[in-house]
Structure 1
Amino acid sequence: MFEFISGNDNAIVVLHEIYGVNDHIKRSCKLFHKSGFDVYCPDFLNREPFTYGEHEEAYNYFNKHCGFNISRIMQLTADLRPSYKKIIIVGFSVGGTLAWLSASKKICDGIVSFYGSRIRDYTEHEPDCPVLVIQAKYEEAYDPVILQEKLSEYSMVSFRLFDGKHGFCDVFSPAFNQIESVKALVLSHEFISNIIAH
């Protein structure tokens, strides 16, 4: 578990990509902690992170050893619940899909999903908490506009499409887009702040 704990009133659980707890995830955790949250990031891989060049190996490892099983997330949020007023789950890529799956389980107060591409396989899951779905406009495997249309029937979902590629918020990725990343991060912080305030 990668974590920052300072006795804050609210917590954020960060769910990593197929690569594991890499520099991008650690940086994201630090940013959330600086914003006034205790941060918990479970390591689903239980190994050193993969490099971006090991994409296929990382993908296969994640599918074999982790998959889209949210039982560990449910246990973590249950353990954290007595200590915090609000718990937010933020996920990136496969972590974004895991966050989406968590949104219908009454285990947190809000979800931010950054380019959770496999949400398209779980659109029947209706969230019971506010969800911000952040998607890249240029996805190779699917059309995010179709996903947007499918999720528009859920009142708890806010869907935003950004002018970038998958991974555009990751400063270590070739897909990084500074302008769109800033917009997405500001939006996510506003979304989280609104949940905390109510």
Structure 2
Amino acid sequence: MAAFTSIPTLEGDARFDVFVARPEGAPKAAIVVIQEIFGVNEGIRRKCDSWAAAGYLAMAPDLFWREKPHVELDADIGEELQAAFGHMQKFNQDQGIRDIEATIKAARAELGQGGKVGLVGYCLGGRLAFMSACRTDGDAFVAYYGVGIDGLLNEQHAIGKPVLLHVPTADGFVPPDVQRKMHEGLKDNRHVTLHDYEGLDHGFAAEMGARRNEAAAQLADGRTADFFAAHL
């Protein structure tokens, strides 16, 4: 069963919506799915459904709620792509991390004592997953084509849990020099693993639409599933 529900902010001064997909039986752990700039759209909800089918409690927070709740946009439609960039520019990432932390807290409350929470994010969500590895108490973190991670390397000393980064080498938003900085800057961090995907562009693991590369998406998603199985 899957539906939106509301949870409190960390401060307790407001509530915001989270899409929740639950497994049939008791969840073995929780996965927080962090949206792209297109909101908690059908693709993100499908990812939650897939994690629930695999036995996890899956939760996708609506991170743009302070500006406009329930944004749902399509990357393949030019006007909606431009609208997504507009939402991203208005988005406060530090507040977003606090909303992610609130989602982790809600997941742990549902799991009960000792329950573990993994995080997986895409695009903007990939960046936020890396930031979460530095700033939250999640248990394992995965970033798909995270943008601007090179500018966050000075926070990596705070990483204490496993992190997996999926890096397409032809990413139009993460140029080769940035990728080199990521590899060089993270090579000595024992908690972080990077996988390159040769010749692939941003968004290759989108659940639906023209950006998806089926073979690469399945490879990356398989690695993610194995990573969470090992660490949650």
Q: Do the two structures share a fold, i.e. TM-score over 0.5?
A: yes
Is 2:40–2:70's contact at 8 Å kept on the other side of the alignment? Answer: no
Q: 1:78 aligns with which of 74, 91, 105?
A: 105
Aligned residue pairs total 196
Unmatched segments (≥5 aa) in structure 2 = 1-17
The residue aligned with 1:61 is 87
Identity across the alignment (%): 25
Amino acid at match of 1:74: E
State the structure with more CA Rg. Answer: 2
Is 2:37–2:84's contact at 8 Å kept on the other side of the alignment? Answer: yes
Question: What is the rounded CA distance, in whole Å, between the counterparts of 1:68 and 1:91 in structure 2?
Answer: 16
Q: 1:40 aligns with which of 41, 59, 73?
A: 59
Is 1:110–1:129's contact at 8 Å kept on the other side of the alignment? Answer: yes
Question: What is the rounded CA distance, in whole Å, between the counterparts of 1:172 and 1:68 in structure 2?
Answer: 29
Q: 1:130 aligns with which of 162, 175, 178?
A: 162
Amino acid at match of 1:51: D
Q: 2:171 aligns with which of 113, 123, 139?
A: 139
- Which residues of 2 match residues 170-189 of structure 1 at below 5 A? 170-189=206-225
Q: Deviations over 1:66-104 (max 9, x none)?
A: 435311111221233244321001111101111111102
Could you say if the C-alpha distance between residues 68 and 118 of structure 1 is closer, same or farther in structure 2, counting changes exceeding 3 Å?
farther
Structure 1 range deviating more: 64-73 or 183-192: 64-73
Amino acid at match of 1:72: D
Is 1:97–1:117's contact at 8 Å kept on the other side of the alignment? Answer: yes
Question: What is the rounded CA distance, in whole Å, between the counterparts of 1:65 and 1:119 in structure 2?
Answer: 17
Q: Deviations over 1:6-34 (max 9, x none)?
A: 44131000000000011211111111111
The residue aligned with 2:10 is none
Structure 1 range deviating more: 66-75 or 95-104: 66-75
Q: 1:51 aligns with which of 74, 77, 81?
A: 74
Other structure's SS at 1:188 match: helix
Could you say if the C-alpha distance between residues 147 and 173 of structure 1 is closer, same or farther in structure 2, counting changes exceeding 3 Å?
farther
Is 1:68–1:98's contact at 8 Å kept on the other side of the alignment? Answer: no
Task: Return structure 1 stretches of 4+ with deviation > 6 angstroms.
Answer: none
With normalisation by structure 2, the TM-score equals: 0.79
Structure 1 range deviating more: 32-41 or 112-121: 112-121
Determine if the alignment matches structure 1 residue 151 to structure 2 residue 151. no
Other structure's SS at 2:148 match: helix
Unmatched segments (≥5 aa) in structure 1 = none
Calculate the aligned-residue CA RMSD, in Å.
1.6
With normalisation by structure 1, the TM-score equals: 0.91
Structure 1 range deviating more: 116-125 or 35-44: 116-125
Other structure's SS at 1:138 match: coil
Question: What is the rounded CA distance, in whole Å, between the counterparts of 2:169 and 2:147 in structure 1?
Answer: 12
